[in-house]
Amino acid sequence: MKLLISNGHLIDPAEGQNSGKDLLIEDGKIIAWLGPNDGKPGDAEVFDASGLIVAPGFIDMHVHLREPGQEHKETIASGCAAAVAGGWTSVCPMPNTDPVNDNAAITRYMIEQAAKAALANVFPIGAITKSSDGSELAEMGEMKAAGAVAVSDDGRPVPNAGIMRRAMQYAHDFDLPIIDHCEDRSLSSGGVMHEGKVSLLLGLKGMPALAEEIDAVRDIMLAKETGSHIHIAHVSTKGAVEAVRRAKHEGINVTCEVTPHHFTLTDRAVEGYDTNTKMSPPLRSEEHLSAVIEGIKDGTIDAIATDHAPHHADEKALEYDRAPFGITGLETALGLACNELVHRGIIDLVRLVEMCSTNPARIFRMPERGTLAPGSVADVTIIDPNLKWTYRNADSRSKSRNSPFDSYEFTGAAVATIVGGQVVYRTEARA
Ligand SMILES: [Zn+2]
């Protein structure tokens, strides 16, 4: 089966490509780029991408798919449906399922459920410690052999520096990056939003920026000593961005990601006590948001990841103090990145593709993805950066509705998502 994506504008930062070319796909692989003078195969199905950006498939490095154990919030199938509607061809679920993904059997189960759904690729992230309780290291080698691409205790920090040091040495032996949820709980425990003027005014307990920064600095020091690769999840503070910038200058193997909500909203969004503004790390003040934007601009921040964290409406309907942390994000990420970053001139489309595809593939050592080079897996995200649309929680493909971006108007969307050469999503399906 051949598919020709014709008349599109190809952006592939890994190959230095940023111009018009046709893309020929056969049997799930990219076969060739064709220029105007190259012969077109007569037997290929044609996808007309006139006026559209053709990019290597987007890889979301940080999602929570809730299966196994909390299928009332999300399943791997419903999460993958939301992913492809947002332009993501691959998603990497965190291990804080029930039970925790701390062994090869659960890693394999997740991959099997994804294969049944046949929408997005699922590359699980295994736990650093057994049950993610921060004490005993999990069997990283077995999880890697089963398909895990990284390890993390996300949702929780690894509180003990000695255990984190051993985890880094162990992960390094298996060439696995550690995805680091940086939060010193002796500072943040009990907090429900960013600690600052707004938390004081609202009478809510704050989580200081320092809680993230102290842990980030500790783990950067450990990464320097052990030589292992750490990837700081959902960086949200000025001090953490600065610490990563310094570490990169020093040649320490550290990368990091930002979520769309952290480059869009500040803690002022909490003023209405909407529990869909409650997440960890919390929405920060203007000063931190500016530092995050600066980190996106100068390349300190490598990737955009959603931290898609679905919760049932009944759970989020509690008062602010008691509601769970997290918001959905798979379907709004690209719209937010276009609105807040591309159309404001903070980054261009090449850098957007780099942050959503090239860099995630590099960080997770996926040489066949994150590029459109001939021979690569045919995962493709087709984008209309000028398409105007409105996001509605009621239309979400996720099982959960906990997004603060209901009724947001966006300029920019994925109009088609192709996974392994199959068109698994097209905008027409939404209409
Ligand atoms: Zn986290």
DSSP per-residue letters across 361-394: HHHTT-TTSS---TTSB--EEEEEEEEEEE--GG
CA angle, 356 then 332 then 413, to 5° = 70
Half-sphere exposure of 378 (CA within 13 A, CB side): 22
Query: Is the confidence at residue 347, as pLDDT, over 60?
Result: yes
- By the CB criterion, residues less than 5 angstroms from ion ligand 1 are 154, 181, 233
Query: Lowest-pLDDT range, 33-37, 166-170, 337-341?
Result: 33-37
pLDDT tens digit sequence for 215-224 = 999 999 999 9
pLDDT band for position 414 (cuts 50, 70, 90):
very high
Specify the pTM.
Answer: 0.98
- 431, pLDDT greater than 80: no
State which amino acid sits at residue 96. Answer: N
The HSE-up count of residue 320 (CA atoms within 13 Å, CB side) is: 18
Centre of ligand 1 to C-alpha 200, Å, is: 24
User: For residue 125, with 0-12 CB atoms within 10 Å meaning exposed, 13-18 middle and 19 or more buried, which class applies?
Assistant: buried
If residue 150 lies in a helix (H) or strand (E), which one and from where to where? Answer: strand 150-152
Q: What is the pLDDT of residue 430?
A: 40
Give 303 Cα–ligand 1 centroid separation in angstroms.
15
Task: Decide if pLDDT at 208 tops 50.
Answer: yes
What does R_g of the chain's alpha carbons equal in angstroms?
21
Instruction: Considering the candidates 102, 215, 267, 307, report the single residue annotated as catalytic.
Output: 307
Average pLDDT over residues 374-394: 97
What is the distance, to the nearest Å, from the Cα of residue 389 to the centroid of all Cα atoms in its chain? 22
Cα of 62 vs centre of ligand 1, distance in Å, is 8
Q: From edge to edge, which strands make up the β-sheet containing 9-12?
A: 17-20, 9-12, 53-56, 380-390, 409-419, 422-426
| pLDDT number for residue 419 | 98
CA of 154 to the centre of ligand 1 (A): 4
What does the pLDDT look like over 125-165, one tens digit per residue?
999 999 999 999 999 999 999 999 999 999 999 999 999 99
Write the DSSP symbol of residue 132. Answer: G
Predicted confidence (pLDDT) per residue in 281-303, tens digit: 999 999 999 999 999 999 999 99
Q: Per-residue pLDDT tens for 35-66?
A: 989 999 999 999 999 999 999 999 999 999 99
Alpha carbon distance 376, 2 (integer Å): 15
Residue 307 annotated as catalytic: yes
The residue written with tokens 């690894």 in the block is: 158
Q: How confident is the model at residue 1 (pLDDT cuts 50, 70, 90)?
A: confident
pLDDT at 429: 45
Q: Note whether 184 and 214 are within 8 A (CB).
A: yes
Structure confidence by residue, pLDDT tens digits, 111-126: 999 999 999 999 999 9
Ligand 1 centre and the CA of 384: distance in Å? 30
Contact present, 233 and 182 (Cβ < 8 Å): yes
Q: Which residues, 6 or more positions from 428, have their beta carbon under 8 angstroms from its beta carbon?
A: none
Distance 15 CA to ligand 1 centre (A): 32
